Each structure stands twice: as C-alpha cells, then as structure tokens.
C-alpha cells in the first residue's frame, strides 16, 4: 500500500492495475474476521425451527389457536406474567423462579407470547431472554428513577420538552413487553393505563400555542398500543396544527408484537404523511419473518422507519453483533439511526457498558460497512439536557487550511481544505 500514497504521481496503467489489486486484497483481509464471525451470529430467520417449537408449546400452555396467535389483542391480553408459564416454556428451576418473583415485587414484568417464543430455552445468556426476563441484578439500587429529569421538562400534561423545535407526548405506560433496561420503568406501575383524553387535549393545546414546535414524537410506553381510533384522532389533530411538520411514533411493536401492524393501522398511518417510526431492535435474533412482514407493511404505507438500539452489556456490546444487526435491519428497510449508551436508571446498572466499548463498535462500523449501516452513538446528558454524539477522534489538527485526520483504517493523512478567502483577507 505504500505505493498508493507514494509521492510518485500519476502512475502508468500497469502500476495502477497493480495498486488496485493490492488495495482490493488489503480491503478483503480487513473484513475476513467478520466474514467468519458473522456465521455464528444468528437472526430470527435462522432460528425458526426452535421458535416454532416454542410457539407450539405456548399455544398448548395457553390453550390457544393460530388465529389467537395472529391477533394482537389476544397477544396483549395473554402476556406472560407468571413464573409457572415461563418455567414451563424455558425450563427454569425453583431458584430462578424465586428470584424472578422477588424482582417482580419491585419491578413489573410481562412478555408477549410472540416475544417469549423467541427465547431459546436452556441458554442463560440468550439475548432475547436478557431483555425480557427479570434477574436478581435489578435489585441493585444504584442509579436514578428519572435520570433524564423528565418531571422537570414537562411544561404541560404528557409533554416532555428538551429541545427548541420538538417535543414528546407520552401517551401510555402500556407495552407488549417491559424491557428490563427501560428508561421509564418508574412509570410502568402495576396497572395499564393510557393518558386521559383531557390530558391529550391539554398537550395538543400546548403545541398549538407554541409555533416553534415543528416535530412531535408520540411515545410512552408504546405509542402503537393505543387504539386505531385514538391514533387516527391524534394524528389528525397534529395535521391540523399548521406549524407541525413531522409526526413520529415510538414503538417496539415490530419487535415485540408484530401482529399489531394490521392493514387498518397501516391505512390510518398512510392518511397522515409524513409519519416516521423509530423502533428498537437490539439483537439480530429479533429480526424474524414476522417482524419483516410488519416493517414491509409500514413501508408500503409510506412510513419511514428508523432504529434506536440501546448498547447493552451481554446483549449487543460486540462489534460483530452490532454490525450484523445493522446490516440485517437495512434488509428489512429499517435505517439504523442511533445507538444509545444505556442510561443510569435504577435497577439497570448491570446493562451499562463502558464508553470505550461503544467507541470500539463505532470504529468497526465506519468504513467497514456502508454508511447506511452506521448509526450515531449518543449519550443522553443527565437532567434533560439532550443527546450528545460520541465518536472516535478523526480530526487530529486543523489550522484552517489543512486538516490532519485519521481515517477508518487508522491512517493519518494531511488534507488541504482550500477555504475561500476574499481578496485582502489575511490568514
């Protein structure tokens, strides 16, 4: 490769060919380890035999039919909330059940039958299980109930406002599966409840009276667990506010309850462009034929899909796993958008990685895969001060005329940038 950056320039055709072949061989070797490692990183498509067995076992345990399974309301009504059913599915022992019950006194848990079917039995480090099933580690009291200080950034009912031109409407505490790393576990409580109509009207009034708000995120809980009628009403009200340009929905339905994505829901979303949906796939195991179908339906309805993964210890804090996840997401037309550094939420400390691990993942993404598969790695500032992008150091020096940079391979390069300067302006 030394010839590639040699001072001898230009090269003749024979030398160009040699340099090209040498460069291609070097690039091939850069990714050879991933090409081998990714063979052992399964997606939900690869695990269909085990998932189908789990599904049949659950249908028997829950005395259900295939029609029940495909009904999102049945899935929601039959979330697994007891260790007896979980033990029968996963082969848990008495101590594991006792620990889950102990954690359940402090923190609510429930798992949709669909998401439970993705857990591979007798795999204690199964990445789906770690996201869904409580562990005794959650009783560590380190951290904060509300690290984002959302209670101090709520100028109106249901509203969280941390930025000048956008805000959140928190519409429900309901989820198909309560993530063990949830940032809003303080809001889960013991009872499912949507925000009252009066509170939603107050939130909409706040938006109407603040014309700088152009982007509204509807989230919770899971925004798509509202009824079709309520979703249609909310989006219509936002459409009627002239200064609102973008509607976003926060949901894990495609991951935890893909049956929720129905033709009627898609018809509603299609009426209200532009609609953006950000979801949270954290591991390739959760990319399944069902989740792909749900994403296909949403894309066909004109919805733009993005993914906000959370960096989680023991689940995806591995460059190869994260790369495979992002590449598989693009195949189902979901754009990797963010990797969130896990927040210091009470009871979730065991999921928090070092920032260095996140930076190493970013180093192994940028240049090693297409830019479409490279999300932004962010840390949420405490007390509601917003997202801070974290990235490897690429600019080493900038004197205004020349940049000294480090590229994705670690090469240091000097790049003239030729900034325009009007005549007479001094350096």
Tokens of 8: 């001898």
**What was the pLDDT predicted at 69?**
98
For 110-152, give the DSSP string.
-B-HHHHTTSPTT-TT-HHHHHHS--GGGG---SBS-TT-GGG
The residue with greater pLDDT, 321 or 13, is: 321
Nearest to 308 by CA among 333, 286, 283, 336: 336
Q: What's the average model confidence in pLDDT over 134-153? A: 88
End-to-end CA distance of the chain: 35
For 176-192, give the DSSP string.
SS--TT-TTGGGT-SS-
Mean pLDDT of all residues belonging to the chain: 93
Q: Distance (Å, rounded) from C-alpha 69 to C-alpha 58?
A: 10
Question: 230-253, pLDDT tens digit by residue?
Answer: 999 999 999 999 999 999 999 999
Give 255's DSSP letter.
H
**What was the pLDDT predicted at 385?**
83
Residues 323, 34 contacting (CB under 8 angstroms): yes
**What was the pLDDT predicted at 102?**
97
**What was the pLDDT predicted at 390?**
92
3-state secondary structure at position 155: coil
CATH class entry, domain 150-389: alpha beta
Asked if pLDDT for residue 4 goes beyond 90, the answer is: no
**What was the pLDDT predicted at 99?**
96
Residues 253, 260 contacting (CB under 8 angstroms): yes
**What was the pLDDT predicted at 242?**
98
Residues 275, 245 contacting (CB under 8 angstroms): no
Give 195's DSSP letter.
P
Q: Distance (Å, rounded) from C-alpha 110 to C-alpha 359?
A: 33
Residues 161, 184 contacting (CB under 8 angstroms): no
Asked if pLDDT for residue 62 goes beyond 90, the answer is: yes
Gyration radius (Cα) of the chain, Å: 24
Q: Distance (Å, rounded) from C-alpha 122 to C-alpha 300?
A: 38
Residues making up the chain, counted from first to last: 427
Q: 93: Cβ–Cβ under 8 A, 6 or more apart, which residues?
A: 87
Q: What's the average model confidence in pLDDT over 200-225? A: 97
Q: 142: Cβ–Cβ under 8 A, 6 or more apart, which residues?
A: 344, 346, 349
Asked if pLDDT for residue 257 goes beyond 70, the answer is: yes
Look at strands 402-406 and 395-398 and give their pairing: antiparallel
Q: What's the average model confidence in pLDDT over 135-160? A: 89
Return the minimum-mean-pLDDT range out of 32-36, 122-126, 311-315, 364-368: 122-126
Nearest to 224 by CA among 245, 194, 204: 194
pLDDT > 70 in the chain, percent: 96
Q: Distance (Å, rounded) from C-alpha 169 to C-alpha 15?
A: 61
Asked if pLDDT for residue 320 goes beyond 90, the answer is: yes
Confidence tier at 427 by pLDDT (50, 70, 90): low
Confidence tier at 381 by pLDDT (50, 70, 90): confident
Q: What's the average model confidence in pLDDT over 289-305? A: 98
Asked if pLDDT for residue 3 goes beyond 80, the answer is: no
Asked if pLDDT for residue 148 goes beyond 60, the answer is: yes
Which string of b and e fits 264-280 if b means at least 16 CB within 10 Å?
Answer: ebbebbeebeebbbbbb
**What was the pLDDT predicted at 5?**
53
Domain residue limits, the chain? 2-30, 48-131, 150-389, 394-427
Asked if pLDDT for residue 1 goes beyond 50, the answer is: no
Confidence tier at 384 by pLDDT (50, 70, 90): confident
Give 7's DSSP letter.
S
Residues 375, 339 contacting (CB under 8 angstroms): yes
Question: 104-118, pLDDT tens digit by residue?
Answer: 999 999 999 999 999
Residues 117, 58 contacting (CB under 8 angstroms): yes
Helix%, strand%, coil% for the chain, nearest 5: 45, 15, 40
Q: What's the average model confidence in pLDDT over 94-99? A: 96
The residue with greater pLDDT, 128 or 2, is: 128
The residue with greater pLDDT, 419 or 366, is: 366
Q: What's the average model confidence in pLDDT over 17-38? A: 94
**What was the pLDDT predicted at 420?**
61
Q: Distance (Å, rounded) from C-alpha 298 to C-alpha 304?
A: 8
Confidence tier at 7 by pLDDT (50, 70, 90): low
Give 227's DSSP letter.
-
**What was the pLDDT predicted at 334?**
98
Q: What is the pTM of this model?
A: 0.93
């Amino acid at each position: 490769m030394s010839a590639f950056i040699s001072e001898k320039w230009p090269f003749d055709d024979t030398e160009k060919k040699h340099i090209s072949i040498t460069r291609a061989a070097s690039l091939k070797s850069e990714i050879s380890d991933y090409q081998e490692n990714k063979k052992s990183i399964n997606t939900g498509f690869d695990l269909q035999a085990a998932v189908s067995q789990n599904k049949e076992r659950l249908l028997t345990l829950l005395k259900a039919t295939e029609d029940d399974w495909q009904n999102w309301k049945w899935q929601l009504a039959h979330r697994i909330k007891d260790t007896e059913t979980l033990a029968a599915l996963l082969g848990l022992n008495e101590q594991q059940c006792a620990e889950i019950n102990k954690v359940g006194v402090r923190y609510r848990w429930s798992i949709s039958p669909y998401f439970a079917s993705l857990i591979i039995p007798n795999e204690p480090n199964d990445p789906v299980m770690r996201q869904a099933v409580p562990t005794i580690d959650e009783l560590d009291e380190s951290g904060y109930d509300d690290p984002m200080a959302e209670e101090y950034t709520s100028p109106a009912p249901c509203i969280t406002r941390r930025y000048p031109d956008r805000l959140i409407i928190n519409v429900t505490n309901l989820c198909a599966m309560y993530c063990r790393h949830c940032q809003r576990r303080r809001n889960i409580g013991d009872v499912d409840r949507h925000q009252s109509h009066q509170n939603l009207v107050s939130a909409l009034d706040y938006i109407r009276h603040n014309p700088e708000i152009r982007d509204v995120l509807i989230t919770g809980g899971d925004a798509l667990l509202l009824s079709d009628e309520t979703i249609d009403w909310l989006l219509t009200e936002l459409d009627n506010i002239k200064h609102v340009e973008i509607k976003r929905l926060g949901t894990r339905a495609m991951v935890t309850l893909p049956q929720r994505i129905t033709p009627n829901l898609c018809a509603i979303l299609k009426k209200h462009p532009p609609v953006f949906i950000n979801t949270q796939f954290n591991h390739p195991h959760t990319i399944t034929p069902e989740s792909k179908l749900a994403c296909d339906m949403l894309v066909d309805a004109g919805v733009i899909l993005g993914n906000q993964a959370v960096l989680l210890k023991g689940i995806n804090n591995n460059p190869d796993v994260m790369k495979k996840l992002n590449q598989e997401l693009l195949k189902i037309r979901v754009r990797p958008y963010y990797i969130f550094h896990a927040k210091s939420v009470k009871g979730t400390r065991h999921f928090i990685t070092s920032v260095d691990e996140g930076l190493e993942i970013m180093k192994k993404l940028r240049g090693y895969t297409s830019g479409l598969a490279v999300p932004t790695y962010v840390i949420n500032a405490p007390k509601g001060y917003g997202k801070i992008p974290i990235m490897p150091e690429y600019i080493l020096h900038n004197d205004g005329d020349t940049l000294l940079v480090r590229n994705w391979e670690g090469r240091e390069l000097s790049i003239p940038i030729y900034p325009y300067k009007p005549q007479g302006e001094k350096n």
